[in-house]
Structure 1
Amino acid sequence: MVRIVKVLRKTDVSQRLGVTTEMLNELPPYNREHDVPVRVLDDTGMIYEFKLSVRAEGALKPVFQYQEWRAFVKRRNIKAGDRIYFWEEASVAHQTEYRIALLRTFV
């Protein structure tokens, strides 16, 4: 199990999450023609369905789209500088499950 750490930037918090190459390698295959739903369980037990989106042409620039990502950000009161941990793990039903945890930065 690889845990990926990302320090969130202002645009990650206010718009959509820029998905790192490391995260993209753990996620289901992307599709340049339409968004791919990614079911994610957070560290409080809430389930979100983030939409993985990549550009149709050129550089991928993968992101989790605004709607569900922002619901997560608002619910958890996430700020720029906070860290997320993202990983893939096998669930009891032998299916792939994605997890996300938050580490707050206190200033």
Structure 2
Amino acid sequence: MVTIVKKLTNTDVSQRLGVPTEMLNMLPLYNREHDVPVRVLDDDTGMIYEFKLSVRAEGALRPVFQYQEWRAFVHRRNIRAGDSIYFWEKASVAHRTEYRIKLLRTFW
């Protein structure tokens, strides 16, 4: 199991999540023409989110999870810059790939 860890920036928290390019290896195939939905289970709360994976149409990929569902996750969990997320894939009982996310808070 590969786990991606990302410390969240102000942009990640206020706008959209900049997806590390190494995370693309575990996600569904991206499409430069259309956003790709990625169902993600919040490992802490059990809530399911459908993040929209987007990459630039030309040039460098610069993958992101778009604003709407990502911001819903940030808002519900009261996430701040400096917090970290863990993201991994796990085979589910239905033999489908399941994506999971876990929050690690930074305490000031």
Q: Same fold (TM over 0.5)?
A: yes
Aligned to 1:6, the other structure's residue is in SS state strand
Gaps of at least 5 residues in structure 1 are: none
Distance (whole Å) between structure 2 residues aligned to residue 51 and residue 95 of structure 1: 19
Q: Where in structure 2 are there 5+ consecutive unaligned residues?
A: none
User: What is the aligned partner in structure 2 of residue 82 from structure 1?
Assistant: 83
Task: Give 1:70 deviation, angstroms.
Answer: 0.1
Query: Residues 17-70 of structure 1, C-alpha deviation per residue, up to 9 Å, x if partnerless?
Result: 000012111101000000000000002100000000000011111000000000
Runs of 4+ with deviation above 2 angstroms: none
- For the residue of structure 2 that corresponds to 1:50, the secondary structure is strand
CA distance in 2, matches of 1:30, 1:87: 17
Query: How many residues get paired?
Result: 107
Counterpart in 2 of 1:9? Answer: 9
Q: How high is the sequence identity, in percent, across the aligned residues?
A: 86
Structure 2 distance, partners of 1:27, 1:81, is 24
CA distance in 1: counterparts of 2:76 and 2:22, whole angstroms: 25
Q: TM-score, normalised by structure 2?
A: 0.98
